[in-house]
Amino acid sequence: MPDVPPPEAPTPGAPQPVVPRPLRRLGFLTIGLFDPEHPADGHESTLRIIELGEDLGFDSAWLRHRHLQFGISSPVAVMAAASQRTRRIELGTAVTPLGWENPLRLAEDLATVDLLSGGRVNPGVSVGTPMQYETVRDALHPHTAEAEDFSKERVSHLLRFVAGDPVREFSGKQGVVEEFSRRVEPHSPGLRDRLWYGAGSMDSAVWAGRNGMNLLSSSVIFPDPEEEPDFAAVQAAQIRAFRSAAAEHAPEAPSRVSQGLVVIPTDSATAAQERRYRDYAQERLPRTRSPQGPRGMLFAPDLVGTSEEIAEQLHAHAGFREVDEVAFALPFSFEHEDYAQILTDIAARLGPMLGWSPSAT
């Protein structure tokens, strides 16, 4: 780590600089891409990457959710498999779009996998109309497409089901051996506290805090139209608003926030790998220069460089300065060996520069 000069004496009455908080928890996020001709190989690669993450001391591994694409369509199933090949690393989704899900059935699956993992599951969810809904609505909701509610009420249902609130009034025995419960079974105590909301707007961040959820803030946000389109500043404001809302909701409960920028260290990369990484980031850079689409999405630039260079950029990033947990996103469309190199550099070099210490394996 580079030497840091001693701070100058503060000027009386001047605003004091914010010292970046040490990184407490380090995670990574993968989309789990696969070749459609050999999908099993891609899923096996994802499981091996999660195993590597545990060996390197990462605190968490997160799975993107992709439907009708060549990426993980069933993160819950992959988490179940990973839970039997790891013993410590936490497993999350970032995020599961609830427009594709029945909250009651999802609650059953999540509780089952959480118990199998020993309480390591961190489900992240979001709401909204499914992507390209007009092309899939008749297959996804063949009889209820017009009536489906894609609002945050869908999250509220999931929260209640996971918490163990009654689903119905009926319970007890029927016949000789059939016994029924009023709540979702199995019930996994503690899972409710590990539910995350993937929020990109101020309203969603505040809603998550008021409803006792943790906050996933990624490399995509939706600023208010009157806001200056400065990604880091907007993200920092959303995180602060979430923490304030969470404190009002439950003053004694900790409010967790994880940031998910795309981070690609090059310390041990070959020359060919580094060229590929920089070309990838350069191709995606134009979309970060102005709001995109009808909702004015803001994208964060991918961070590519040595761990020292990336650490300097992160310490200057207003959003990063608000968190002590991250789930750095692995870039799309790279090879297994590339992801292994990136994760190794993050764990061995970048993480410690950010104040993180690897978990015991």
Give the pTM.
0.93
96 token code pair: 């599961």
CA distance 145 to 137: 6
At residue 148, what are phi and psi to the nearest 5 degrees?
A: -60, 135
Per-residue pLDDT of the chain in tens (361 residues, 90 and over written 9): 334 343 344 344 433 344 568 999 999 999 999 999 999 999 999 999 999 999 999 999 999 999 999 999 999 999 999 999 999 999 999 999 999 999 999 999 999 999 999 999 999 999 999 999 999 999 999 999 999 999 999 999 999 999 999 999 999 999 888 999 999 999 999 999 999 999 999 999 999 999 999 999 999 999 988 878 899 999 999 999 999 999 999 998 888 999 999 999 999 999 999 999 999 999 999 999 999 999 899 999 999 999 999 999 999 999 999 999 999 999 999 999 999 999 999 999 999 999 999 987 6
In degrees, rounded to 5, the angle at the alpha carbon of residue 246 between the alpha carbons of residues 149 and 354 is 110
Answer whether CATH 3.20.20.30 is correct for domain 25-133+148-165+180-353: yes
Contacts for 8 with CB less than 8 Å, ≥ 6 apart: none
Domain ranges of the chain: 25-133+148-165+180-353
CA distance 258 to 93: 12
CA dihedral 59, 67, 127, 331 (to 10 degrees): 40
361 token code pair: 């394996």
In degrees, rounded to 5, the angle at the alpha carbon of residue 342 between the alpha carbons of residues 359 and 329 is 80
- Nearest-Å Rg of the Cα atoms of the chain is 21
